[in-house]
Chain A
Amino acid sequence: NAGVTQTPKFQVLKTGQSMTLQCAQDMNHEYMSWYRQDPGMGLRLIHYSVGAGITDQGEVPNGYNVSRSTTEDFPLRLLSAAPSQTSVYFCASSYSRSPLHFGNGTRLTVT
């Protein structure tokens, strides 16, 4: 039972490049979400999904896209990276209203 798996662990991008952060969970959780963590700002919700085929925006969705074609996977796409997107990204999943299970994070630097 791997839990929540995020890849890659580290990534450096140049401004304007695109990339996808992968997130997969093997706990059959219907709820999945993406957060970014910045110093002094805690965790801010980017996008979330309550089930396959259903996604919605969180607090800071601009510049990010998501899709949920399966229960297990919830990738986060940066279409045109900007320095303001330098952050640590966490994927999390849970059953409805149960505690979130977090992945190990992806540290992204945009130069």
Chain B
Amino acid sequence: AQSVSQHNHHVILSEAASLELGCNYSYGGTVNLFWYVQYPGQHLQLLLKYFSGDPLVKGIKGFEAEFIKSKFSFNLRKPSVQWSDTAEYFCAVNIRDTGNQFYFGTGTSLTVIP
């Protein structure tokens, strides 16, 4: 079965620190990849997406992610986090060969300390 793994369950950083959140998926075919963010008490919002082309994609609020096909990874990065980045982050995979089902990781809770 397809799966999405986020190995960092809870990350605590100080403001201005750099962030990297890992995401690995288990499907070997063609995929679309997403990162979503969920601020406290809110619904999930799209941070960035990768469909094809340049494996380094830039999203909103200074986030970026790199698709490494050989490693089945799509890690999220931000050079300098802010207190307002405190949220839960979810990696998601959409497999092109099947229906429109999305598979989500278990999420990483990020706490940024001022």
Decide if A13 is an interface residue (CB 8 Å cutoff): no
Chain B residues numbered 5-20 whose CB sits less than 8 Å from any CB in chain A: 6, 9
Stretch of A20-28, A77-85, A97-105 that contacts chain B: A97-105
- Judge whether A34 is part of the interface by a CB distance below 8 angstroms: no
CA distance A99 to B104 in the complex (A): 13
Given contacts A97-B96, A99-B49, contact A90 B32 (CB under 8 A): no
Q: Interface size on B (CB < 8 Å)? A: 24
Check A41/B106 contact, CB under 8 A, given A50-B100, A96-B100. Answer: yes
Identify B43's interface contact among A41, A56, A90, A96, CB under 8 A. A90
Residues of A within 8 Å of B104, CB to CB, are 35, 42-44
A42 and B107 form a contact (CB under 8 A): yes
Residues A43 and B49 in contact, CB atoms below 8 Å apart = no
Tell me if B43 and A103 are in contact (CB < 8 A).
yes
Contact B90 A102 (CB under 8 A): no
Q: How far is the CB of B19 from chain A (nearest CB, A)?
A: 19
Q: How far is the CA of A11 from the CA of B35 in the complex (A)?
A: 29
- Chain B residues with CB under 8 Å of chain A are 6, 9, 32, 34, 36, 42-46, 49, 90, 92, 94, 96, 99-107
List residues of A whose CB falls within 8 A of some B CB: 31, 33, 35, 40-45, 48, 50, 56, 58, 90, 92, 94, 96-97, 99-100, 102-105
